[in-house]
Each structure stands twice: as structure tokens, then as C-alpha cells.
């Protein structure tokens, strides 16, 4: 137990200590707010609907919103498969652009010394109104530490996510996460994290510093 505590605490504190350095990068500060409703149909299937709003330009304007819904099948304790559909609107040059995005997900889960590892693989088909349809692969690797604090079951984690467009076969976005999950009430959970995003635009890497707040109702 002492070994797990020391390993988890050291890694987590190291990554959070790096956050101020990221914040010094020349980029926009944003706030993302997500609300989720999740319902378990039986031991194998659950459904989920989420709504997300993103505020940019130092949290002064709403520039993005999406609605995402889907079903997840628990194949085994170590494998989940899911099918989702997302509709989003993003403000570009003062005009709202619509995109519809069906995606399939496969998540592999493992545990070692109390650490929980999740590797989510997502394939997206991006249907852009007024633009060419594209496909994209996203991989998100998450490590949850074997620590839970207070009655809220506060559990820290870190994650990294890469984005690869199939057309260009190039990595053009990366997201680094550091945050924690907590149980507010019996059916309410929250996820609060800092996100450092780098996106390649016109051969230049642009940085974004993001605070994200997620609230989940579990039925």
C-alpha cells in the first residue's frame, strides 16, 4: 500500500507541477462544460447522452457545442465496445459550421498494483456541411491512480490523447490531461481536469489551455 501511494503521489504531483509551465505558452484559455446522463440497461449494455459547451477567447465567447449519444456493450471485464453519433456546431469566421460525426469506440481496460489503465480507440467519420467528409482516428490512454480521498472518493488520473487524420496520415493534435473524478452524491459524479491541447494549423502548432468541468447523472 505504501509503495502504491508513493508511486501514485509522485507521478501525479510531478505532472501537476508541470501545469504552470504549460500555461505560459502563447495560447487561448478556455472553459469546457459537459453534462452527461448515463443509464444502465443491464449487466452488459448502457446508454449515454452528453451535451458540451466550449467557451474561448479567454472564456469570453461560446464557440462550440455538441450533443453526443450512444450505446456501450461490455464484452468482458477488460473490453468495451461502443457506437455513438455526435452533432456539433463550431463558430468559424462568425458563422456556425455544422458537423455530424458517427463514431465507434473500443476500450481496453487493465489493472496493475491498484493502477487502472484504459486505452480507448475511436474511429470517426466526419460529415461536414459545406466541406469534404473525412475520417479520423483518436487514441486516448488513461491511468487512474490507486488513491481515493475523502468521502467523495476523489481519484486522480492523467491521460494523453492523439488525433490522426486518415487522409494526410499525420498526427495533427494532442491532448494532455491531469484531473480527478469524484462522487458528489449517490447518482451524481464529477470529472474536473486541466487540458493542454496542441493543434497543427498551417504548419504551425497552436496551444490551448483548458479547464473542463463535467457533471454526470448515473441512473
**Residue 25 pLDDT greater than 50, yes or no:** no
User: Exposed, middle or buried: residue 213 (CB in 10 Å: 0-12, 13-18, 19+)?
Assistant: middle
Choice among 58-67, 138-147, 200-209 with the minimum mean pLDDT: 200-209
CA–CA distance, 54 with 33 (Å, rounded to integer): 6
Q: What is the pLDDT of residues 27-43, one digit of tens each?
A: 899 999 999 999 999 99
C-beta neighbour count of 182 within 10 angstroms: 18
Higher pLDDT, 164 or 93: 164
Question: Pick from 194, 107, 182, 114: which is nearest to 151 by CA?
Answer: 182
pLDDT more than 90, % of the chain: 80
Q: Greatest CA span in the chain, whole angstroms?
A: 57
**Residue 168 pLDDT greater than 60, yes or no:** yes
Q: What is the pLDDT of residues 50-108, one digit of tens each?
A: 999 999 999 999 999 999 999 999 999 999 999 999 999 999 888 999 999 999 999 99
DSSP conformation letters of the chain: -HHHHHHHHHHHHHHHHTHHHHHTSSEEEEEEEEEEEEEE-SSSEEEEEEEEEEEETTTTEEEEEEEEEEEEEEEETTEEEEEEEEEEEEEETTEEEEEEEEEEEEEEEEEETTEEEEEEEEEEEEEETTS--EEEEEEEEEEE-S--BTTTTBEEEEEEEEEEETTTTEEEEEEEEEEEEEE-SSSEEEEEEEEEEEEEETTEEEEEEEEEEEEEEE-
Higher pLDDT, 105 or 170: 105
Range of the domain at 191: 2-218
Whether residue 218 contacts residue 48, with contact meaning beta carbons closer than 8 Å, is answered with no
Looking at the structure of the chain, the number of domains it has is 1
| CATH at residue 65 | 2.40.160
Q: Point out which residues pair with 124 in neighbouring strands.
A: 103, 136
Amino acid at each position: 500500500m505504501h509503495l502504491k501511494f508513493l508511486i501514485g503521489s509522485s507521478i501525479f504531483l510531478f505532472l501537476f507541477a508541470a501545469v504552470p509551465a504549460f500555461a505560459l505558452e502563447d495560447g487561448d484559455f478556455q472553459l469546457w462544460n459537459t453534462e452527461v446522463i448515463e443509464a444502465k440497461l443491464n449487466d452488459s449494455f448502457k446508454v449515454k447522452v452528453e451535451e458540451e459547451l466550449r467557451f474561448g477567447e479567454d472564456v469570453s465567447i461560446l464557440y462550440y457545442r455538441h450533443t453526443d449519444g450512444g450505446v456501450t456493450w461490455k464484452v468482458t471485464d477488460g473490453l468495451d465496445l461502443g457506437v455513438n453519433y455526435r452533432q456539433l456546431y463550431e463558430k468559424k469566421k462568425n458563422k456556425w459550421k455544422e458537423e455530424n460525426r458517427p463514431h465507434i469506440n473500443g476500450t481496453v481496460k487493465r489493472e496493475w498494483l491498484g493502477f487502472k489503465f484504459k486505452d480507448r480507440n475511436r474511429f470517426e467519420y466526419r460529415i461536414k456541411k459545406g466541406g469534404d467528409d473525412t475520417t479520423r482516428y483518436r487514441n486516448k490512454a488513461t491511468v487512474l491512480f490507486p488513491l481515493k480521498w475523502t468521502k467523495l472518493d476523489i481519484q486522480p488520473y492523467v491521460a494523453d490523447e492523439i488525433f490522426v487524420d486518415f487522409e494526410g496520415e499525420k498526427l495533427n493534435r494532442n491532448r494532455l490531461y491531469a484531473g480527478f473524478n469524484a462522487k458528489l452524491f449517490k447518482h451524481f459524479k464529477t470529472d474536473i481536469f486541466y487540458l493542454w491541447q496542441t493543434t497543427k494549423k498551417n504548419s504551425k502548432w497552436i496551444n490551448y489551455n483548458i479547464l473542463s468541468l463535467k457533471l454526470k447523472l448515473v441512473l
